[in-house]
């Protein structure tokens, strides 16, 4: 692949991420509001602030490239957000709802991690050092968020969700 073609792909992938991050800026407050576990709600609020930073980093990269960040819709993120919404419409206990929120959020983080890993590698090949550093910072924040969600799920939320199930079974 010629370097210019790779640069075009790089820009398209960055636009995809820009769309994805902006969709998340809208979705995360709703997820925070839906969460019953306080730590989870706070985690979503915190990641909302980080996500706004991700948007800004992408804007910075586009400024340097002299291109506009808009023009693409990330359909995958639309799908992930739609699935999260669907999950929240199911009838479930607050504990299971929190577990469902984590399931949705981790899918989102992994999607973002895949995207940022790719553009960071492209930036390296294209010798865009500054962009590479910015993309790495975001990638690290997405990975840290994913780890936190795992910890919260495994240490508390999944256990609470399962416990709820036990109680129901005891009642029967
Ligand atoms: Fe992000
Ligand atoms: Fe994220």
The CATH number assigned to the domain holding 36 equals 1.20.1260.10
Nearest alpha-carbon partner for 20 in 65, 44, 64, 55? 55
Give the closest ligand to the alpha carbon of residue 143: 2
The sign one gets for the Cα dihedral 136, 83, 25, 63 is: positive
| Dist. CA 134 → ligand 1 center (Å) | 12
d(CA 155, CA 76): 30
pLDDT of residue 164: 59
- 90 located within any domain: yes
- 27 located within any domain: yes
| Dist. CA 20 → ligand 2 center (Å) | 9
- 172 located within any domain: no
- 169 located within any domain: no
Give the closest ligand to the alpha carbon of residue 144: 2
- CA R_g for the chain: 18
- 170 located within any domain: no
| Dist. CA 21 → ligand 1 center (Å) | 5
d(CA 51, CA 86): 23
Report pTM. 0.92
* pLDDT tens per residue across span 7-20: 999 999 999 999 99
- 153 located within any domain: yes
- 1 located within any domain: no
Residues with CB under 5 A from ligand 1 (ion): 51, 54, 112
The helix (H) or strand (E) run that includes residue 91 is none
Residues 150, 110: contact at Cβ < 8 Å?
A: no
The residue segments making up the domain with residue 10 are: 6-164
- 121 located within any domain: yes
| Dist. CA 166 → ligand 1 center (Å) | 36
| Dist. CA 91 → ligand 2 center (Å) | 27
* pLDDT tens per residue across span 72-123: 999 999 999 999 999 888 889 999 999 999 999 999 999 999 999 999 999 9
Per-residue b or e along 122-144, where b marks 16 or more CB atoms closer than 10 Å to that residue's CB: bbeebebeebbebbeebbebbbe
Query: How many domains, the chain?
Result: 1
Give CA separation, 167 vs 16, 99, 156, in Å.
45, 17, 16
| Dist. CA 172 → ligand 2 center (Å) | 41
Residues in the chain: 172
């Amino acid at each position: 692949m010629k370097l210019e073609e790779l640069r075009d792909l790089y820009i398209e992938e960055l636009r995809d991420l820009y769309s994805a991050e902006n969709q998340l800026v809208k979705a995360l407050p709703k997820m925070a509001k839906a969460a019953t576990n306080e730590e989870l709600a706070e985690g979503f609020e915190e990641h909302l602030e980080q996500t706004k930073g991700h948007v800004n980093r992408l804007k910075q990269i586009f400024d340097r490239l002299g291109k506009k960040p808009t023009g693409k819709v990330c359909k995958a993120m639309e799908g992930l957000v739609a699935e999260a919404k669907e999950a929240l419409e199911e009838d479930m206990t607050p504990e299971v709802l929190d577990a469902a929120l984590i399931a949705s959020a981790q899918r989102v983080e992994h999607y973002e991690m895949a995207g940022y890993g790719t553009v960071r590698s492209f930036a390296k090949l294209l010798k865009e050092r500054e962009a590479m550093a910015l993309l790495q910072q975001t990638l690290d924040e997405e990975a840290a968020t994913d780890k936190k969600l795992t910890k919260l799920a495994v240490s508390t939320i999944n256990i609470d969700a399962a416990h709820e199930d036990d109680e129901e079974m005891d009642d029967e």
